[in-house]
Copies of this chain bind each other. A is one copy, B any other.
């Protein structure tokens, strides 16, 4: 008896440094051109072209040709989910810090997009804040937005209606923090809003996200998430409860 050939094919595709780097770069959700991806992976364009056509043939990526550019992107959320779950396993396996952390690594650990929602320390911190304020209930099994959460998110500018058919609110195991952050429709809309407010900016050529000064202020005021020198400071519940939200400032700037 032999395993499903396709599982092997898919895993083998991911199991190459150059291809994995390109997939990783696309986990931000954007489309990138072949040349950009070649640059990301440190390989020639011809090599990249070969890799990319394999990934498309296997259905991991899709490509759209516009003008003289080929834009590649992750073919489906299922592919993103597969990569995330592989990363969770990879993070467990990690023998404690054999590879020295790179600067880039630290940036990714701090804040990154996980396909379409926020991950990393910041993603976990925002999730924790929403849970602590009683706006969201997260269990291993799933997530739920409470009525107060609906009001809060709506005031924050996140529109959760109409509820589309996609998964609404779900915990996603963060590979760097090994704690849950929010994915699904809720997670995606929150990230959208953070971009819209200019609180986060994407760093070109990667999935890392940069917190802007206004984002630093905003996260503190709305979510009581305090950031010092690029690291998230834990805020105890007492402090959290003692402050008034200033959603009005946000909505009428």
Residues on A facing B (Cβ under 8 Å): 1-17, 20-21, 23-25, 40-42, 58-60, 76, 78-79, 81-83, 85-94, 99, 104, 139-143, 165-170, 173, 184, 205-206
Contact = CB atoms under 8 A, between A and B. Distances in A.
19 contacts: A1-B205, A2-B42, A3-B24, A4-B24, A6-B94, A7-B87, A9-B15, A11-B12, A76-B89, A78-B88, A78-B92, A81-B85, A82-B85, A82-B88, A85-B85, A140-B166, A140-B168, A141-B168, A142-B170
A21 B86 CA distance: 18
Choose among A4, A13, A140 the residue with the greatest number of B CB atoms under 10 Å from its CB: A4
A88 B78 CA distance: 8
Contact of A3 (B17, B93, B169, B184): B17
Contacts of A20: 3-4, 7-8, 11
Copies of the chain in the assembly: 2
Contact of A40 (B1, B15, B79, B140): B1
Contacts of A3: 17, 20-21, 23-24
A104 to B, nearest CB: 6
Contacts of A41: 2
Contacts of A79: 89
Choose among A3, A12, A25 the residue with the greatest number of B CB atoms under 10 Å from its CB: A3
Contacts of A85: 78, 81-82, 85-86
Choose among A9, A40, A41, A206 the residue with the greatest number of B CB atoms under 10 Å from its CB: A9
A42 B169 CA distance: 44
